[in-house]
Amino acid sequence: MAGRRRVSGSSVVVLCLLLAGLVGCGGRSTTDSDRTDVQRVLDRRAAAVLAHDATAYARTGTGTGFGNLSAIPLAAWSYRVREVDRTGDRATADVELRYRVEGYDRGAVATGRTVRLSRDGSGGGWSVDSDRPAKKSGQQPWDQGAVRVVRGTHSLVLGVGQPTDTLRRFAALADRAVPAVADAWDGDWARRVVVVVPRSLEGMAGLLGSPASSYRGIAAVTTGETGGRERAPADRIIVNPDAYGLLGDLGKQVVLTHETTHVATRADTTSATPLWLSEGYADWVGYRDSGRTPAQAAPELAGAVAGGELPARLPTDDDFGFTADAEELARAYEGGWLACRMIAEQWGEDRLDAFYRAVGAHDERAGAVEDAMRKVLGTTPDDFTARWREYLRTRLG
């Protein structure tokens, strides 16, 4: 038939040989082969971590860092090679590390790592030279040094550069926080927390992958994915020891209870949940049994109201920015807390929980609060805001 030409069997063989170094003939590309080989050595490395086998770990390459994480009780540890960039006998792998802490994590922590490898010229296997956080990923505790572990009744505290006595105090605070949150929040959660205490503010920032200036004056934050009932995200309460150390006994307990509340409500906190509700609810739980009056717990807002500056609206998400003015940030938290306190007083604590869940169950932010106010509280945003302003006037004035 015109336009077609047969190729002999010998020609096919020659063609395959010529192309083998480029794409193979019906086989894997060089990139696929490298990815498979790197995955194989990282699988052996992961098995060594889970077996606490330092010798087997060292056979896969550098043993640096193995001792730093050996005290952490691990239920799972695995690598997934996403991409390999190879130049001769050296390679850089883009890798996802997934791990779970035994008895605490329902789901895995997932974090990006950059793994550099090499092999000798004789064609031997790949060997790990370094394993560091990927460019846009935060450090893990063991990246900062040896991790010391303290177990509480409801908590696990991971510390770097901190004495054991300090970590025990954090465990005691967390052990009081978990029952307090369980008493207030009727949702399904693990009722245990992992608290990470780095050496300094800079250590906290390294764990979060952000500049230290973003968290100066912030005593603690909670990490984890929102809306994660199916994904069961692993939360971490990460402490800023510099700011936390300046708090009094009550302040320290309120902060740990606040952050534990974020862990408890994580599955019902979504992109539809405004910060005045998520932060306000966490503060409401934190102060719930403290005996503090509104004026005592909300001094910045009390001062503003006393000076004739009654807020015209509920705090927006922008008001909660860590880079905002410290007094404005305090008023945002206090305003959200008093809104939730008002709901608990005027509608009841059960209705407050139901309102929180109803907002988070909405598909998007638009209309979420309005629908939940109508269905759960039987009110409108305008009426709610007017009641909140009156509540501030009577409680803080």
Give the rounded distance of the alpha carbon of 105 from its chain centre: 12
Cβ neighbours for 278, distance < 8 A, ≥ 6 positions apart = 262, 265, 269
pLDDT at 124: 77
Do the beta carbons of residue 171 and residue 151 sit within 8 Å?
yes
pLDDT at 12: 35
Which residues pair with residue 133 across a beta bridge? 113
pLDDT at 24: 36
List phi, psi (to 5°) of 116: -100, 135
What residue has token string 């320290």?
A: 252
Do the beta carbons of residue 170 and residue 158 sit within 8 Å?
no
- C-alpha to C-alpha distances, 155 to 174, 237, 242, 257, nearest whole angstrom: 6, 11, 22, 12
Span(s) in the chain for CATH 3.10.450.50: 28-137
Which of 139, 95, 146, 141 minimizes the C-alpha distance to 116?
Answer: 95
List phi, psi (to 5°) of 155: -145, 160
Do the beta carbons of residue 34 and residue 91 sit within 8 Å?
yes
pLDDT at 3: 43
What number of helices (H) and strands (E) belong to the chain?
15, 9
pLDDT at 6: 35
pLDDT at 384: 98
Write b or e for each residue in 361-382: b if 16 or more Cβ atoms lie within 10 A of its Cβ, otherwise e.
ebeeeeebbeebbeebbebeee
Question: Exposed (0-12), middle (13-18) or buried (19+): which is 128, by Cβ within 10 Å?
Answer: buried
Alpha carbons 28 and 243: distance in angstroms, whole number: 54
pLDDT at 5: 32
Specify the fold of 28-137: Nuclear Transport Factor 2; Chain: A, (3.10.450)
Helices (H), 51-137: 54-59, 66-69
Do the beta carbons of residue 45 and residue 58 sit within 8 Å?
no
pLDDT at 220: 96
pLDDT at 193: 97
- C-alpha to C-alpha distances, 185 to 145, 156, 182, 256, 354, nearest whole angstrom: 36, 21, 5, 15, 10
List phi, psi (to 5°) of 79: -120, 145
Enclosing H/E stretch for 45: helix 30-50
Asked whether the CA dihedral 97, 98, 103, 107 is positive or negative, the reply is: positive
DSSP letter for 316, please: P
pLDDT at 15: 32
Q: Which amino acid is at 207?
A: L
Per the structure block, which two tokens stand in for 78? 């695995």
DSSP letter for 76, please: E
Span(s) in the chain for CATH 3.30.2010.30: 141-265
Do the beta carbons of residue 135 and residue 149 sit within 8 Å?
no
**CATH class of the domain whose range is 141-265:** alpha beta
Do the beta carbons of residue 116 and residue 81 sit within 8 Å?
no
Segments of the chain with pLDDT less than 70: 1-30, 121-123, 225-233, 323-324
List phi, psi (to 5°) of 157: -110, 125
pLDDT at 106: 86
Per the structure block, which two tokens stand in for 19? 């192309």
Give the rounded distance of the alpha carbon of 57 from its chain centre: 28
End-to-end distance of the chain based on CA atoms, in angstroms? 97
